[in-house]
Chains A and B, each alone.
Chain A
Amino acid sequence: MNLLLIKLTDLFRHPVKLLFYTVIPIISVFLLGILLEEGQRGIKVPIALVDEDESEFSELILKRMKGEERIQIIPAQIEEAEKMLLKHEVDSVFIIKDGFQKQLFEGKEDSIVDILLTDASVAYGIVREAIAAEILRLSSNIQAADWVERSFQDLGILKSSPDDLWNEAFRYTDGQWEPEPLMTANFVLENVNNENNEINESVIVNNGIENLYSPYIGIWTFFAMLVTILSLDWLVKEKTSLFPRMKSTAKGMTGYLIASIIAIFVLHLIQLFIFIGIGNYLEKFIVNISLLGWMAIYILFSLSIGVLLAAYAKNIGSFYLIAAIFSFIISLIGGSFFPVDELLKMINFGYFQWLPQQWVIQNGGPAPFISIVHAVVIIFVTWLAALRRLQENL
């Protein structure tokens, strides 16, 4: 206990060190997180739109497409558009062919829009669906008006001129799209936030997805691991200078090691609480007790790995390098930066839900009890291996 107090006092006596281990990771997480979040929000598919028809309807399509958030429309002539496509400055080229409006009125909708693609055109499907929706709107407006005009004539109830009736029916059909279409969809995320583990739907956005994937917790797992392991650099220095002396004493080295690790753990818990506080305040993510618990376990895991790495590191430079590479690689494949496990599942590659990052990102995962057992075993085994190495190699 005394040793613990001494270590804690020593830690808090160095404000620079304190700031480094608390402030730097938090700043890094939010810096990178905001970049990824805003970047994700603003992702759009750039396409070149060529209007060969230059009619009222083709201009309407162009105008409405420009309002699409996820698509960047670049109006261009055909030659220019092809060049842009070959230089991969646009994802694809959509050409509203000459006669577009005429064909719509005639009900001949086949091949009225050309799409130019390359092997690099991966996102044109989204644009295709969006343009198809606009064409369908126009076309169904026309067909509905035609139907009404034809029915009235067939039933002999035509009172005004056919053109007037047609226009009225067209406007009525189109009017059902304002202020919003007849059918829309809302997106909500599953949110388990009560004791009975029931799903409460919390509406994140209306009529769209803004931030499906919140990167903050994932990125925290990377920086938390890196900084936690780096905070154990004193082990590399002390194992040659101080540990031999400690080992010759009655109380030995283990007590000191445990006290030091607990002190470091307290420091990183403070960092965790500050991070959670800021994140909650900025409404960047939702935290519950379970997630907090997993984040604390994750720090413990990082500490045990750090002790093991420090026990094996020959010098401080190697230790820093191994810490950086290990943290980066395991975070990369563990899904800290993007949902790797989901992407891998999609091609049936297998997934890495047993990596420690997933304990935090998936809040324990589908089988929390097994995850806890897994975590405890790994931490215990790692710690034992590290102690053994430190004891043996003096």
Chain B
Amino acid sequence: MLQNWKVICLLIFTPMLVLSGIGLICFQLLKTESAVHPFSVAIVDQDGTEETKFFIQHLLDSDHITELANFQMLEINAAKDLLKKDEIASIIVIPENFSENVRYGINEPLTVIGNPNRPVQSMLIFSLLESATKFISAAQSAINTIYHFLTEENISREIIRDHYSRSLLHFGLFTLSRGDFFEETKLENFHKDHFLQFYSYSFYILTIMIWTYGLVILLKQKTSSSLSVRLESRGMTSIAISSARFIVLFLSLFFLGIALFLPLYFYFDLSANNFLAIIAIIFTSAAFITFIDSIISSDKGFTIFGFLLIMIGAFAGGQIIPTLYLPEWLGKIGEFTLNYQFMELLIPKGESSSFLSVLAIGLVMLFICLGFQSIKDRRRVLG
């Protein structure tokens, strides 16, 4: 295996570098919104009334909206043109007769035209706009009520207009002050570098799994069919071969895994218990891939299936998006993945998960694998 040193270097360094790079980028994104550069959004006001101007002003005055997006007023064709050229994230269209309809209680929806090349930005704008529509609905329903009740009493138009204008101002300002409803407190005794640690562990585990998978592919190719026949003639059973492969895999991963873990250990000031966790992860990862290898004899099949398993495990197991945010059914599937078990072992949650349980999973897989190989050997001997 070591003769393929160039390929081994590629296997060891490439996933590590690329995953670390992406991890750092994700971390930056989550850490500070100020690091995010505002994107452009076009507003097309096809109504052009005071109410729509008020609505647009609401958007422009909201700090948490303008932190994310720059707004520009455009005609619809010009806006669509920019969207096609991927220069803006979305177009907010306020339709004709919008404010009149709203005044009479007729829902005339705003339209957000999203850019499929910028799904995240489009989604953000839509979420913000959804909130904004609710705030405006609150203000407008109040204004409508006042207008309705006064109109029904045959009050003079001047008085009604006066009440209308005052209510517009009052409720408009009121919606802007909604931030005052809340008082935020940050708990200090929570782990400070939570997300950095989360993604560091996540990518560490992914790297270990990719290394395991890659090393098995390299180990497999050494055994040609004629070599297998010769080994069998000398009494080397499938169990012996699988066991030997597992040992080589575990030892290789052990040194690589510990070396990769050391920077994390020092940076996050971890305890020695974490090394036990790492050993359990390496052992079980090696056992798992050995188990898959024993089931799938085809090299190509193993290459594709192995990758698919790792990817499904990474997503469902909460390595990309924490399981906290995933739907319940997916979370349940995720709990069955090794990725999830490994993450639970490493992420400090107050109670420490047992590395023995993870080790036990690995042992069970190994025994099943060896059992399977034993059946294969017996079938071959007995014909």
Contacts and interface: CB of A to CB of B under 8 A. Distances in A.
Interface of A: 20, 24-25, 28, 31-32, 35-36, 38-39, 41-46, 82, 85-91, 109-120, 122-123, 125-126, 128-133, 135-137, 139-141, 143-145, 147-148, 151-152, 155, 157, 169, 172-174, 176-177, 180-192, 197, 199, 201, 207-209, 212-213, 223, 226-227, 230, 233, 314-318, 320-325, 328-329, 332-333, 337-340, 342-349, 362, 365-366
B129 interface: yes
Given A32-B315, A119-B195, A230-B303, 5 more contacts: A36-B315, A88-B194, A116-B187, A208-B130, A342-B118
A173 B142 contact: yes
B110 A339 contact: no
A193 to B, nearest CB: 12
Contacts of B133: 181, 183-185
14 contacts: A43-B327, A45-B325, A110-B181, A151-B150, A151-B163, A157-B155, A176-B105, A185-B109, A230-B303, A322-B7, A324-B303, A328-B210, A339-B120, A343-B25
Interface of B: 4, 7, 10-11, 14-15, 18, 22, 25-26, 28-30, 35-37, 39, 64, 80, 83-86, 102, 105, 107, 109-123, 126-131, 133-146, 148-150, 153, 155, 159, 163, 167, 170-171, 174-175, 177-187, 189-195, 198, 210, 213-214, 217-222, 299-301, 303-304, 307-308, 311-312, 315-316, 320-322, 324-330, 349-350
A172 B145 contact: yes
Nearest to A144: B142
Nearest to B136: A183
A346 B304 contact: no
A168 to B, nearest CB: 8
A144 B114 contact: no
B307 A328 contact: yes
B185 A321 contact: no
Given A115-B185, A151-B163, A314 B4 contact: yes
Given A125-B64, A348-B37, A190 B84 contact: yes
A173 B214 contact: no
A42 B142 CA distance: 34
Contacts of B192: 119
Contacts of B171: 140, 143
A317 B222 contact: yes
Given A32-B311, A86-B190, A109-B181, A321 B84 contact: no
A39 B326 contact: yes
Contact of A185 (B110, B195, B303): B110
Nearest to A208: B130
